[in-house]
Amino acid sequence: MERGDLLKLRLVGIEYAGKDTNLYTFADPAGGILPAADAGAHISLELPNGLSRQYSLVHAGTQLGKYVVGVKRAPDSRGGSIFIHDKLRVGDIVDVAPPLNNFPLVEDAAHSVLFAGGIGTTPICCMADRLSHLGKKPKIYAAFRNREEQLLGPQLEQYGHATFHFDDEAGHVLPIADLIAASPRDAHLYCCGPLPMIDAFLEATRADGRAEECIHVEYFEAAEESATVGGYSVVLARSGLTLQVPPGSSILNVVQAAGVTVSARCEEGVCGACETRVIEGIPDHRDSILSPKERKANETMMICCSGALSDHLVLDL
């Protein structure tokens, strides 16, 4: 991991947001303005236990004095959220990678419809905040398993036309296909939530014939298995190296082992830090970031999780 561009920020606040979920606020210890963030952006917390975890910002802007992220304590996680909930204390200094945005907002859309599930409410809230700043009032559907898990309710009501859904009270999950079918044909549709919700969203948008450029999703967990079959070579055009990728390895592993510095954080295709330009060859895309159109274009790839369909790749590294 490239750590040179990390910010050293102080955790200045922890606030209860919903069951098992807190809002964590980070600020520059010297009181400086933080790097700007667009709506939908996330930051990476580089934790003292060696884990790198990405969390969406609740607020965006160019003059941010603090970053606020929501973290749900997930007992079945690989340890990032548990560490944050159990070990981080107000006053701690944490390494933070500046904002990166894989979930950009189309600010001039005539209509925006935002679907949020659970902790996926955080980037949706950020987008709704931005749209309300632009004088727009988006439609927001926010789904939770129950009322105890509801997050950011007052903010969503302030920023848009918000409807809240609770699975236990409704007796079913959010009827996302019906809501998409009822949305304006020119609406930009956004979804962030657990995998089944994103799958249902994508299926419904396809079934309803929505244009690809109007569909926007943000995953916070890998949607596909990484490509680890190996058996191909990568040519690093700038470094002048040709490397073999053996079975069980990622391109990232092989490149790092050769001493080439590359940026990487999540290592599962959800953060975008390792995006690399492809000069030649056909990647086996496994990330959760590139759109189908971007995948087909084969101009870039995430080298932490994607492999090759051709016998070699030439990369801009």
Quick one: which of 140, 267, 290, 317 contacts ligand FES (CB under 6 A)?
267
Which residues inside 274-293 make contact with ligand FES, applying CB under 6 A? 274, 287
Strands 67-72 and 139-144: unpaired
Quick one: which of 117, 120, 123, 272 contacts ligand FES (CB under 6 A)?
272
String of contacts with ligand FES for each residue 132-171, x by CB under 6 A? ----------------------------------------
Residue 304 is a binding residue for ligand FES (CB under 6 A)? yes
Quick one: which of 37, 71, 273, 315 contacts ligand FES (CB under 6 A)?
273
Which residues inside 213-242 make contact with ligand FES, applying CB under 6 A? none
Q: How far is CA 41 from CA 54, 128, 163, in A?
A: 10, 13, 23
What residues contact residue 271 under an 8 Å CB cut-off, 6+ apart?
A: 42, 44, 54, 100, 102, 265
Residue 271 is a binding residue for ligand FES (CB under 6 A)? yes
Residue 295 is a binding residue for ligand FES (CB under 6 A)? no
Could you tell me the two tokens for 144? 């939770």
CB of 266 to ligand FES, least distance (A): 4
243 within 8 A of 230, measured Cβ to Cβ:
no
| Shorter beta-carbon distance to ligand FES: residue 2 or 280 | 2
CB of 278 to ligand FES, least distance (A): 14
Question: What CA–CA distance (Å, rounded) separates 12 from 90?
Answer: 5
Residue 57 is a binding residue for ligand FES (CB under 6 A)? no
Residue 251 is a binding residue for ligand FES (CB under 6 A)? no
What residues contact residue 22 under an 8 Å CB cut-off, 6+ apart?
A: 14, 15, 16, 70, 71, 73, 85
| Shorter beta-carbon distance to ligand FES: residue 102 or 155 | 102
| Shorter beta-carbon distance to ligand FES: residue 38 or 268 | 268
Could you tell me the two tokens for 247? 């079975």
CB of 197 to ligand FES, least distance (A): 21
Instruction: Identify the CA nearest to 99 among candidates 33, 42, 27.
Output: 42
Q: With CB under 6 A as the contact rule, which of the stretches 111-119, 124-132, 158-166, 269-277 interacts with ligand FES? A: 269-277
| Shorter beta-carbon distance to ligand FES: residue 86 or 316 | 316
| Shorter beta-carbon distance to ligand FES: residue 114 or 254 | 254
Q: How many residues touch ligand FES (CB under 6 A)?
A: 13
| Shorter beta-carbon distance to ligand FES: residue 95 or 107 | 95
Quick one: which of 138, 269, 281, 307 contacts ligand FES (CB under 6 A)?
269
The residues of the shown chain that bind ligand FES, judged by CB under 6 A, are 264-267, 269-274, 287, 302, 304
